[in-house]
Structure 1
Amino acid sequence: MSWAGKILRVNLTAGTVKSEPLNMEWAQSYIGSRGLGTKYLVEEVDAAVDPLSADNKIIWATGPLTGTMASTGGRYTVITKGPLTGAIACSNSGGYWGAEFKMAGWDMVIFEGKSATPVFLYVNDDLAELRDASHLWGKSVWETEEIIKKGLQDPLTRVSSIGKAGENGVLFAAVVNDLHRAAGRSGVGAVMGSKNLKAIAVRGTKGVGNLHDPKAFMAATKAAKKVLADNGVTGTGLPAMGTQVLMSVINEVGGLPTRNHQDNQFEGAKDIGAEAMATPRKTDGKKQLVTNQACFGCTIACGRISKMDEGHFTIENKPQYRGANGGLEYEAAWALGAANGVNDLEALQYVNMLCNEEGIDPITFGATIGAVMELYGMGILTKEQLGIEAPFGSARAVAFLAEETVNGRGFGKEIGLGSKRLTAKYGHPELSMSSKGQEFPAYDARAIQGIGLAYATSNRGGCHLRGYTIASEILGIPVKTDPLESQGKPELVKAFQDATAAFDSSGVCIFTTFAWGLQDLAPQMQGACGEQYTIEELAKIGERIWNMEREFNNRAGFTKADDSLPARLTGEDGACKTGPAKGKYNELATMLPLYYEARGWDTEGRPTAATRERLSL
């Protein structure tokens, strides 16, 4: 079985690091990563805990396929109670850190308490110890990684860390590894900072052994890789264009939220999409996109490496940003661009680098700036408060406010609260485009009905990665459904949510699901972990994980009322103005009761006794 079979428990208050055996009964029932890490959290943490108190815990968890030859098997998850939402926070990252940790011989690490001074955890196979991080406090993610590697004299060390945003308590601070891969959403970085935990540095040389059936596993992974290679999205589209291929697609169907969801199509979409990144600039004749990049074990390679125009105003006196670096992905390009009416591709790349360098979620940041710009346009926020004129379309305002936010300066401190708290403070909570306090990503819930239901019911707040119905509603994967039609979407959303929970927990990337279904995951899980992981069992485990997360949120005080969307998206007054979705608004009121019924929940959105018994909760 490809679990390492042991976990690290770090008590930051006492300064102790201890090894303990993995609870294999839980591992069998919740797989790993998202599912297993969440099981540990809900068993050990009071759902009513203050997310930024010492009583909260934060967990880094790998899956049984992490570090193996399964395609995309480099994922890890950070699980805690989130400060942005007060709900379960579970944020997934790629790169190389997860595989390195697994190959050091560990399945997960649990941090509890709070250190009196800044520390980082150093893991080198069986060696695991806390070390002083006073010299790292105040440093960016990029600086932290470089200093740790030089100090250890080992360039192969992998680092997962926070920047100044996490230290300063930005409620949407991210945990970043490998310079530009991130556990990005829900504020996991703020929890890390609240514990005076700066980084986890890992070197693993053991590899991953103990596969249940090595020959069957190799055959299953080989077959699954062929499925990815033969698929138009994972074999061609994502390697060539990255996730940015979606910019023009989503804009054309009228589902690109623009200017804080006031509009549903962006006239500047062509200037900030994949095609623009790959087109030579008029200023210097060079393309922003340099090449693509893959995470550990990935055969898709959707990552972007980009190089900015050295004459752009954002980096005039900042030579550190002139080299090739992590490039724009669709969600960030939308949040920093269309959400604010900005079509300056170079400015978006600069702010994207800032988000990576100092560790903040570009989705929540960009969406919050959208609310700020709307408040500015209404005259509620002024230049004197913000430090700059901030109308929709101002690239200079987005860049300036990003700098203020990551450094905890001026109005950046207010932006660091996220849009829900900020808009409430200034008397217009209806301008926060969020659910459960987490901002929506790059798909309009009015034009794409299923994703609106997915936003409203997501256990971690507004999110596309908990049930990516865009695959079906827009791309026709695995079957085409009408994005403008609400009928059938409750069942579709549930199926996507459950399958996603299983994929997340295994240790592979969710992007594989453009080509794979549970029928492709099951033989890989069986070869690695045991014959019991059938398609049906994986679906049931995914459903079990979803309900476990839901019950944690219910205990934390969330109710049916929190399965909501802003009025702007659910009423005729806010209906789409242009494109194929003109006149449409989200039919959540119709879909939600049917979703509860499909889930086996009561009318208040609580799992029934029969559902709990069926799922062995």
Structure 2
Amino acid sequence: TGTSVLTSGRFSVSSKSPLTGTIADSNVGGFFGSEFKKAGLDALVVQGKAEKPVRLEITEDNIKIIETELWGLETGEALDRLEGKSAVIGPAGENEVRYASIVVNGHRVFGRGGLGAVMGCKNLKAISVSGSKDVPVADEDALKNYVVKAASKIDSSPVTSRGLKKFGTPILVNLITWLGMYSKKNYRESSSEEEADALSGEKMREEIVEEHEGCYACPIRCGLKTSTDEKEGKGPEYESVWALGANLGNFDLEETTELNYRCNELGLDTISTGGTLACAMEMSEKEIWSKIDGFGSLVKDLLDKIAYREGVGNELAEGSERLCEKYDCDFSMTVKGMELPAYDPRGAAGQALSFATSNRGGCHLRGYMIGEEIFGVPKLFDRFKTSGKAQVVKRSQERNAYLDSLITCKFSAFALDEEYYSRFLSAVTGKDFTVAELHRIGERIYNLERKFNVKAGFDREDDRLPERFSQPLKEGASSDNVFDMEEMLDDYYEVMGWDVEGKPKEETLEELDILDI
């Protein structure tokens, strides 16, 4: 972070998740991470709870804990009042909504896992940082050489140089729809191509995109500055336009965009917000929970009720799994309590297994098998085949773990092979790293996270998809297809070196030198 390595401006926050009870981390782009590094810091540990609302002010010389009058403000206004690069929570974090987010300058968001609620329970409203120190690099010449080569690769990849650069992440909407994996209404049906196109990157470029923005040291510039008839803001991203759009049966682009803006101002994770609302809508349709009457009552006022825990919002603030537990139904589309994202797992076996075994719950980023099963990066695998897929998922999870440890953007991996990351790390640290060593780092991380989850009470029963995904879709390119998840789990546990209940074996931990950690 903070070097000339391309896409190295990210920052990670970790805690135990108030939503899932698993280990949680979320990372963000923008410029907060590079500024933090240039203040001379690699990490910050926040312990305890302040008696009154406070903020942290970090400079190159010291860290101050300051009482703050920002408590109660939405994220945009709070950020406007702070100097330097800042990370803040909104009303959702203050009220400990279980899927509250943390927002940084430019409305980049630490979204998943409810880490905004962790800040809120500590009475910590904001963290601001200012720095200008040089970030030390062991071999500047070698790093410069690799960066130049990497820039050329990124500029020649159709994904990073055209797709993401021109349309942002919503470029995926039409592709995933064509594959039959862009579901609607809480994963009950497939979206039609006509419906999905209304939310696509192409349509966004025509109707709401004003300009593109990039993060620190990033030539991809996938960020979208947008506007509607009512206001302007950032996004929505691919996941958000699905969660607040198609997943709610809503294909109005302006409405979806404004819901996204409102989530950012309140500090709500868009994926879990949309997943919880979709669950509540289905419950209302089935007359299990009759407090929502169609999409019309889901507009911004209901988001406010969630953020402030007012009325029905107090139940929704707990997330869909707890809502369904309270009313004894199974409409929560979650893994380990985290709402699933915008890829129907009935369309890709590896992604289904990755969802089920993700250490932080229903997450596409722990093992992004869309790369292997859709884009062919680094190699194309048949998305409907299960044989041998466990080993591919293991490699993907290791790769994503070490990329998160390097804290680089995963979009760069669409263009760069793994050798680039080993060379970057070697040049920055002065210690030689091979790709195999990076994978060992990733394997150690994944097993350490699993140890945490096992200690927290998680086992094989939690490595499962919702029952809905054992029933095939009726339409689309992924229809009439389901996977034998139990067989895939058996294969996965074997290649991971875990027992039949999903617990890492002692010899596995010993070989990875993490037995006593």
Shorter-chain TM-score bucket reads over 0.9
CA–CA distance in structure 2, aligned partners of residues 509 and 418 of structure 1:
28
Q: Secondary structure at the match of 1:367?
A: helix
Q: Secondary structure at the match of 2:300?
A: helix
Alignment of 1:161-180 (within 5 A): 161-180=88-107
Contact 1:347 1:395 in 2 (8 A): no
Q: How many residues align?
A: 513
Q: Deviations over 1:350-382 (max 9, x none)?
A: 111111112111000001111011011111222
Structure 2: give runs of 5+ residues left out of the alignment: none
Q: Which of the residues 487, 503, 508 maps onto 1:590?
A: 487
Q: Does 1:302 align with 2:228?
A: no
Q: Secondary structure at the match of 1:192?
A: helix
Question: What is aligned with 1:397?
Answer: 298
CA drift at 1:427 = 1.6
Q: Using the TM superposition, name which of 185-194 and 481-490 deviates more.
A: 481-490
Q: Does 1:118 align with 2:53?
A: yes
Q: Secondary structure at the match of 1:70?
A: coil
CA drift at 1:426 = 1.5
Question: What is aligned with 2:472?
Answer: 575
CA drift at 1:108 = 0.7
Identical residues among aligned pairs (%): 40
Structure 1: give runs of 5+ residues left out of the alignment: 1-65, 150-156, 280-286, 311-321
Question: What is aligned with 1:292?
Answer: 212
TM-score, structure 2 as length reference: 0.97
Q: Which of the residues 240, 243, 248 maps onto 1:332?
A: 240
TM-score, structure 1 as length reference: 0.82
CA RMSD in angstroms comes to 1.2
Contact 2:30 2:106 in 1 (8 A): no
Question: What is aligned with 2:280?
Answer: 372
Q: Which of the residues 498, 512, 516 maps onto 1:615?
A: 512
Q: Deviations over 1:45-82 (max 9, x none)?
A: xxxxxxxxxxxxxxxxxxxxx11111111101000000
Question: What is aligned with 1:228?
Answer: 154
Q: Secondary structure at the match of 1:328?
A: coil
CA drift at 1:395 = 5.2
Contact 2:262 2:300 in 1 (8 A): no
Q: Secondary structure at the match of 1:464?
A: coil
Alignment of 1:316-465 (within 5 A): 322=231, 324-382=232-290, 385-386=291-292, 389-390=293-294, 394=295, 396-428=297-329, 430-465=330-365
Question: What is aligned with 1:187?
Answer: 114
CA–CA distance in structure 2, aligned partners of residues 139 and 122 of structure 1:
18
CA–CA distance in structure 2, aligned partners of residues 219 and 132 of structure 1:
46
Letter in 1 for 2:62: L
Q: Secondary structure at the match of 1:110?
A: coil
Q: Deviations over 1:387-425 (max 9, x none)?
A: xx22xxx25524332232123222111111110001111
Contact 1:141 1:179 in 2 (8 A): no
Q: Secondary structure at the match of 1:221?
A: helix
Letter in 2 for 1:144: A
Q: Using the TM superposition, name which of 419-428 and 541-550 deviates more.
A: 419-428
Question: What is aligned with 2:82?
Answer: 148
Q: Does 1:205 align with 2:102?
A: no
Alignment of 1:242-261 (within 5 A): 242-261=168-187
Q: Secondary structure at the match of 1:109?
A: coil
Contact 2:266 2:304 in 1 (8 A): no
CA drift at 1:478 = 1.6
CA–CA distance in structure 1, aligned partners of residues 186 and 305 of structure 2:
20
CA–CA distance in structure 1, aligned partners of residues 170 and 496 of structure 2:
33
CA–CA distance in structure 1, aligned partners of residues 367 and 202 of structure 2:
27
CA drift at 1:589 = 1.4
CA drift at 1:175 = 0.9
Alignment of 1:30-45 (within 5 A): none
Contact 1:423 1:432 in 2 (8 A): yes
CA–CA distance in structure 1, aligned partners of residues 57 and 202 of structure 2:
42
CA–CA distance in structure 2, aligned partners of residues 359 and 492 of structure 1:
35
CA–CA distance in structure 1, aligned partners of residues 373 and 15 of structure 2:
31
Q: Which of the residues 437, 444, 457 maps onto 1:537?
A: 437
Contact 2:185 2:248 in 1 (8 A): yes
Q: Deviations over 1:298-338 (max 9, x none)?
A: 1111111101123xxxxxxxxxxx2x320211000000111
Q: Does 1:137 align with 2:93?
A: no
CA–CA distance in structure 1, aligned partners of residues 429 and 263 of structure 2:
37
Contact 2:59 2:131 in 1 (8 A): yes
Question: What is aligned with 1:24?
Answer: none
Question: What is aligned with 1:91?
Answer: 26
Q: Deviations over 1:588-607 (max 9, x none)?
A: 11211100111111112111
Question: What is aligned with 2:42?
Answer: 107
Contact 1:486 1:591 in 2 (8 A): yes
Q: Does 1:278 align with 2:215?
A: no
Letter in 2 for 1:216: A
CA–CA distance in structure 1, aligned partners of residues 328 and 91 of structure 2:
29
Q: Which of the residues 414, 429, 432 maps onto 1:514?
A: 414
Letter in 2 for 1:605: G
Q: Cα–Cα, structure 1 residues 277 and 396, in superposed 2: closer, same or farther, change >3 Å?
A: farther
CA–CA distance in structure 2, aligned partners of residues 482 and 400 of structure 1:
44
Question: What is aligned with 1:493?
Answer: 393
Contact 2:102 2:109 in 1 (8 A): yes
Letter in 2 for 1:400: D
